[in-house]
Each structure stands twice: as structure tokens, then as C-alpha cells.
A = this chain, B = another copy of it.
Amino acid sequence: MDSGRLEAFSDGVFAVAITLLALNLAIPGPGHGPLARQFASHWPSFAAYVVSFLTIGIIWVNHHTLFKNISRIDRALLFLNLLLLFFVVAIPFATGTVAAYLSHGGADASLAAVVYQGVFEGMSLGFGTLFWWSIWRKHLKISLTPPAARAAIIRFGTGTIGYLAAIGIAVLSAPASLLISGLVAVYYIFEHTPARPR
């Protein structure tokens, strides 16, 4: 079974999820005070949009890089991919929730940020499992030496640990946790799966 249709379906989900993010940008509109003030008080929506857009964009880049190197798709891989998409689909909801509560402070802001980072953590674990399965079942086109495979898994794990840290920090400060997940996204711009042929 080739990966063409799995990639097409996943690309569709990534594309819809990343575009739905912008629905959260909508401001209250006429009759709710000067537009400039509406934009200013709406900063959490813009900040969360940037972080979530970058995160989904990077998942897509890494998904693309990984599946380019996968030679065989089994039924387990289809369902592990669905697990990953389960969390991707929840990102617009989590983004809207954290944006609504970010500037409120207190327990509600922390809870919203924990949910947001929790969705990222779930996505990261889903992707990690997918990656681990494709190495373990030898579905990759290239064969990794044991140290290379270990390095790959550690590097992949960076996101998982980053989001875990963000969950912890969210309890103390929701905006700080948003910053952490933004940094994880920036990290993945420069780093990537070692499955990529050099």
C-alpha cells in the first residue's frame, strides 16, 4: 500500500485546521468600541494564532519529511496517523479557548493554557509513536544505525518534553507557556527528523 492517499487525507486535515485557526481572529465588530481598542485587547488571539499556525505548519513539514521516507503503510500506521490527526483537529478549539482566557489571568487562564499545551503534547506523542512504529517495523526506506535511531528518537522527544514543560509552566503563567510552545516551534524550524537523507 503506498502512502499517497494517507498523505492526501492528512494534507486536507492540516489545511482545514490551519485555515480554521483564523476564525478565532474575528473581532466583536461595530458597536463594541473603537476598532483600534478592539484589536489591542484582542492580542491573545493574534499571539495564539501565530503559535498555532507555526505549530501546524511544522507538523506538516515533518509529516511530509517522514512519509517521503516511508516505504510501506500498514493498517496500524493508518490508525496511528488518525491518532495524530485527532489532536491536530482539536488545535483550533484549543487555540480559541486559550485566546479567550489568556488575558483573564487566574485559574481559568491556567486551565485554558494547560488544555492548549495538552493538545500539543498529545499531538507530539502521537507523532512520536508514528515515528517509532515506522522505525521499529522497518517501514523506512533507509536503514538507521542504532545510534542514529536513538538520536532521532531523542531529537523527536524534544517536542514532547518541551510541551510537558509548557504544561507545568501554564499552571504558573499562561502567557509564559504560550512563549514556550512558540520556542518549540522555532526549534523545529531548524531541527528535523534524521530520517531525511543527507
- Contact check: which of B11, B97, B192 meets A5 at CB < 8 Å? B11
Structural contact, B7 and A5, CB atoms closer than 8 A? yes
Structural contact, A79 and B22, CB atoms closer than 8 A? no
Structural contact, B111 and A36, CB atoms closer than 8 A? yes
Structural contact, A29 and B78, CB atoms closer than 8 A? no
A146 within 8 A of B: no
Distance in angstroms between the alpha carbons of A15 and B108 in the assembled complex? 32
Structural contact, B25 and A93, CB atoms closer than 8 A? yes
Distance in angstroms between the alpha carbons of A92 and B22 in the assembled complex? 8
Structural contact, A100 and B30, CB atoms closer than 8 A? yes
Residues from chain B with Cβ under 8 Å of A19 in the complex: 13, 16-17, 20, 89, 92
Given the contacts A68-B1, A104-B30, A89 and B18 also touching, CB distance less than 8 Å: yes
Structural contact, A111 and B35, CB atoms closer than 8 A? yes
Distance in angstroms between the alpha carbons of A111 and B8 in the assembled complex? 36
Residues from chain B with Cβ under 8 Å of A133 in the complex: none
A171 within 8 A of B: no
Shortest A5–chain B CB gap in Å is: 5
Distance in angstroms between the alpha carbons of A27 and B96 in the assembled complex? 9
Structural contact, A14 and B12, CB atoms closer than 8 A? yes
Q: Restricting to A47-70, which residues have a CB under 8 Å from any CB of B? A: 53-54, 57, 60-61, 64, 68
Structural contact, A22 and B93, CB atoms closer than 8 A? yes
Given the contacts A7-B5, A19-B17, A29-B100, A61 and B78 also touching, CB distance less than 8 Å: yes
Shortest A91–chain B CB gap in Å is: 8
Residues from chain B with Cβ under 8 Å of A11 in the complex: 5, 8-9, 12, 15
A86 within 8 A of B: yes
